[in-house]
Amino acid sequence: MGMSFNPPYPAGTVIKGKWRGNRYVVQRVLGKGANGTVYLVQREGRREQYALKIGNDTLELQSEINMLTSLQSCKMRSEHRSRREMPLSSYLLESDDFGDTGNIPFYVMRYVEGRPLHHFLAKRGASWLGLIGMKLLEELNKLHVCGFVFGDLKPENVMVSDYGHAELIDYGGASPLGRSVKQFTEWHDRGFWNAGSRVGDESYDLFSFAVLCLRLLNEAGLKAAAGQLPQTRNVDELLKLARNLPDKQLGAWLCVALKGGFAGSAQAAKVWKEQIYSKRQQRMETMATPAWLKGAFALSLFVLVFTLYWVFF
Amino acid sequence: MKQILLITDGCSNVGESPVLAAGYAWREGIAVNVIGVVDEGTIGELGSREIADIAKAGGGLSRIVGTPQLAQTVQMLTRKTVVQTIQQAVNKEVHKILGESSLTQLPPEQRSQMVSVVDELTETSPLRVALLIDASASMKPKLAAVEDAVRDLALSLEARKGRSEIAVFHFPGRSGGEDAQLDLDFTGQIGQVRSLFPKLKMRGATPTGPAIFRVIEAFKGSGSTDEPRALLTGKEHDDREGMIGGYVV
């Protein structure tokens, strides 16, 4: 316990591990979560940047480290099996303690550069949702296959690079499948909407994912629905929002997710791929010809006819 | 594990000291959490000190929050206190076995194992929570938020793997002589708390201390004790408990 509400460490602070001896230099604060503060750091004497999380509470942080460790080993096994030549995307690089008394816990992870999903979409437009959603559903599925649920899925916990590469950050809310979800955010919580239990199952993450989409596409509508009395707050309100989206196929997908209708995240990802992600190319093919292009075409035809007439007659 | 969760908006003004009552509860193995709930303005220095003192004497945690944060706070405090209770028990064992003072000083591998045990027990050990709701007149406008918070707590407890039970009391009681009135006796059918609050009648005085004593009696009356030590040795639940659960007074 204790240790919470400390002011953040200033840039230049050196964090030296008690057990493993590695030294990290603080560059700036990346964010504050429920269980601690995340800093951008550099390994002393090296160029690479990492994200380093300092916990408020030894127990909570250790619990998170345990979860990341088993996730890591599960991921390594599956990557080994599929023999894919990809850089090991580490959730967890190392964990250690520091401080004068040596009992402030921290852990180091890969630094994911980018901006939170809601900022990204506000800037780039909703047309990116098909691609980003695809990646997120694949990430969730990987997590589920390893026996965990993410729990606290919301736009703030999704980092998107400038090129639309999305990653989940902050696994503090993750818990083993079948256990109670210990960290969640009102709007994204299935229980909040009277739409089911708070037991962490695959549908729980898919429900949060659906609310995330609604929030990105119609935040005002979601806010109005959430503002109702707890007794009358209802998943039907969310279904209505989903059906009213201009993209009907996305709306239909969201309705299934909100009702817990997918067998799991693998199926949900498959359907997303078929009906939302792949639809983009079709739309390109059937895209309406702009009026100016038709005009230009007509004009060039006319010029051609005129030229032919002029040449031959 | 046993907990009292007191939700109030100010100072007690009748009967024994609630801090003393909380001390008694803690001695009986019941942790006391307190949430001070404010609408506008603050709870006042006297009120906030009393809230902090009750929790300290009761071995629990306290927070002062506005109605929008109430549900989240109730859920969080209950969970934290469960973790804390188990952690204290585990720390005692760690001290006995390894001679280290606490979990935070253990080397990473051992700590990781201990925390797995704590996590497991947090999820699976039986838990009984008595909600004690201040129903004095000033609480009336906050009652919808309290109801939402109780519903939310029920959801979180239902999701646990271990057996969870809830009882609800409000104070002051219906007649002048009653310190706290039982609204729902300990029940594993947590869904019942949802149909509870239309019955509450708001009254003037705030006998917080006597109300806590009333709840301690209720814990004693309903049998089994799940001391943290017993959790570690896997002591089974008293059979009596299953039988008395599940009726609304």
- Contact yes or no for B161 and A95 at CB 8 A: no
Confidence at B227, pLDDT banded by 50, 70, 90: very low
> How far apart are the CA of A101 and the nearest CA of chain B, in angstroms?
9
Q: Which residue among B83, B108, B147 places its CB closest to the CB of A59? A: B83
- Contact yes or no for A66 and B158 at CB 8 A: no
CB distance B11 to B44 below 8 Å: yes
Average pLDDT value for chain A: 88
For residue B212, what pLDDT is reported? 94
Confidence at B246, pLDDT banded by 50, 70, 90: very low
- Contact yes or no for B155 and A66 at CB 8 A: no
Res A152 pLDDT > 70: yes
Contacts across the A-B interface (CB distance below 8 Å): 61
Name the residue type at position B57. Answer: A
User: Which residue's entry shows tokens 């007509």?
Assistant: A298
Helix axes A248-258, A235-243, angle to 10 degrees: 160
For residue A88, what pLDDT is reported? 45
- Contact yes or no for A197 and B103 at CB 8 A: no
Between B141 and B161, the more confident residue is: B161
Grouping H, G, I as helix, E, B as strand and the rest as coil, residue A25 is strand
Interface test with B, best of A22, A59, A71, A96 (most B CBs within 10 A): A59
Q: What mean pLDDT do residues B173-178 have?
A: 68
Q: What is the DSSP letter of A215?
A: H
Distance CA A192, CA A185 (A): 9
> How far apart are the CA of A181 and the nearest CA of chain B, in angstroms?
8
- Which residue from A101, A106, A146 is spatially nearest to A17, judged by alpha carbons? A106
With an 8 Å Cβ cutoff, the interface of chain B facing chain A consists of 71-72, 79, 83-84, 87, 103-105, 107-108, 111-112, 115-116, 118-119, 123, 144, 147-148, 151-152, 155-156, 158-161
- Contact yes or no for B112 and A105 at CB 8 A: no
For residue A283, what pLDDT is reported? 53
CATH label, B19-233, candidates 3.40.470.10, 3.40.50.410, 3.30.450.40, 3.90.105.10: 3.40.50.410
For residue A201, what pLDDT is reported? 96
Confidence at B189, pLDDT banded by 50, 70, 90: confident
- Contact yes or no for B148 and A230 at CB 8 A: yes
* Most confident listed range (A74-78, A257-261, B117-121): A257-261
b (16+ CB within 10 A) / e for A121-153? beeeeeebbbbbbbbbbbbbbbbbebebbbbbb
* Most confident listed range (B50-54, B78-82, B172-176): B50-54
Q: Where are the beta strands (DSSP E) in chain A?
A: 14-16, 23-32, 36-43, 49-55, 94-98, 104-110, 115-116, 148-149, 158-160, 166-168, 175-176
Cβ-Cβ contacts under 8 Å, A186 against chain B: 71-72
CB distance B11 to B50 below 8 Å: yes
CB distance B12 to B22 below 8 Å: no
- Looking at the annotation, which residues of A are catalytic? 152
For residue B248, what pLDDT is reported? 32
Res B228 pLDDT > 80: no
- Which residue from B151, B132, B158, B190 is spatially nearest to B70, judged by alpha carbons? B151
Cβ-Cβ contacts under 8 Å, B159 against chain A: 179-181, 191, 197-200
> How far apart are the CA of B217 and the nearest CA of chain A, in angstroms?
31
Q: pTM, whole model, 2 decimals?
A: 0.82
Cβ-Cβ contacts under 8 Å, B79 against chain A: 182
Between B105 and B200, the more confident residue is: B105
> How far apart are the CA of A196 and the nearest CA of chain B, in angstroms?
9
User: Which residue's entry shows tokens 């708070």?
Assistant: A198
For residue A311, what pLDDT is reported? 82
Tell me the two tokens of residue A296: 């230009």
User: Which residue's entry shows tokens 């909100």?
Assistant: A258
> How far apart are the CA of B159 and the nearest CA of chain A, in angstroms?
5
Res A122 pLDDT > 80: yes
Q: Which residue among A63, A65, A198 places its CB closest to the CB of B155? A: A198
CA dihedral in degrees (B150, B153, B155, B156; nearest 10)? 180
Residue of B nearest to A178 (CA): B161
Q: Which residue among A65, A200, A230 places its CB closest to the CB of B112? A: A65
Between A286 and A93, the more confident residue is: A93
Task: Give Cα A81 distance to the centre of its chain.
Answer: 25
Cβ-Cβ contacts under 8 Å, A234 against chain B: none
Report pLDDT digits (tens) over B110-146.
889 888 988 898 899 899 999 999 988 788 888 888 8
Distance CA B245, CA B14 (A): 31
- Contact yes or no for A198 and B148 at CB 8 A: no
Distance CA B200, CA B116 (A): 42
Report pLDDT digits (tens) over A208-256.
999 999 999 999 999 999 988 777 788 999 999 999 999 999 999 999 9
- Contact yes or no for B156 and A192 at CB 8 A: no
Between A1 and A172, the more confident residue is: A172
Q: What is the DSSP letter of A261?
A: -
For residue A86, what pLDDT is reported? 46
For residue A1, what pLDDT is reported? 38
**Given CA atoms B207, B213, B214, B219 in this order, what sign does their dihedral have?**
positive
Cβ-Cβ contacts under 8 Å, A191 against chain B: 152, 155-156, 159
Strand partners, B36: B8, B64
Strands A94-98 and A104-110 turn out to be antiparallel
For residue A161, what pLDDT is reported? 93
Confidence at A46, pLDDT banded by 50, 70, 90: confident
Q: What mean pLDDT do residues B173-189 have?
A: 78
- Which residue from A154, A212, A145 is spatially nearest to A177, judged by alpha carbons? A145
Cβ-Cβ contacts under 8 Å, B59 against chain A: none
Strand partners, B170: B133, B181
- Contact yes or no for A59 and B107 at CB 8 A: no
For chain B, give the secondary structure using H, E and C: CEEEEEEECCCCCCCCCHHHHHHHHHHCCEEEEEEEEECCCCCCHHHHHHHHHHHHHCCCCEEEEEHHHHHHHHHHHHHHHHHHHHHHHHHHHHHHHHCCCCHHHCCHHHHHHHHHHHHHHHHHCCEEEEEEEECEHHHHHHHHHHHHHHHHHHHHHHCCCCCEEEEEEEECCCCCCCCCEEEEEEECCHHHHHHCHHHCCCECCCCHHHHHHHHHHHHHHCCCCCCHHHHHCCCCCCCHHHHHCCCEC
Confidence at A101, pLDDT banded by 50, 70, 90: confident
Confidence at A96, pLDDT banded by 50, 70, 90: very high
For residue B41, what pLDDT is reported? 65
Distance CA A269, CA A261 (A): 13
> How far apart are the CA of B160 and the nearest CA of chain A, in angstroms?
5
- Which residue from B96, B89, B154 is spatially nearest to B120, judged by alpha carbons? B89
For residue A34, what pLDDT is reported? 73
Confidence at A7, pLDDT banded by 50, 70, 90: confident
Interface test with B, best of A3, A61, A179, A223 (most B CBs within 10 A): A179
> How far apart are the CA of B118 and the nearest CA of chain A, in angstroms?
9
- Contact yes or no for A180 and B159 at CB 8 A: yes
Report pLDDT digits (tens) over B6-56.
999 878 888 899 999 999 999 999 999 999 988 766 677 788 899 999 999
Res B205 pLDDT > 60: yes
Res A2 pLDDT > 80: no
- Contact yes or no for A230 and B151 at CB 8 A: yes
Cβ-Cβ contacts under 8 Å, A99 against chain B: none
For residue B149, what pLDDT is reported? 86
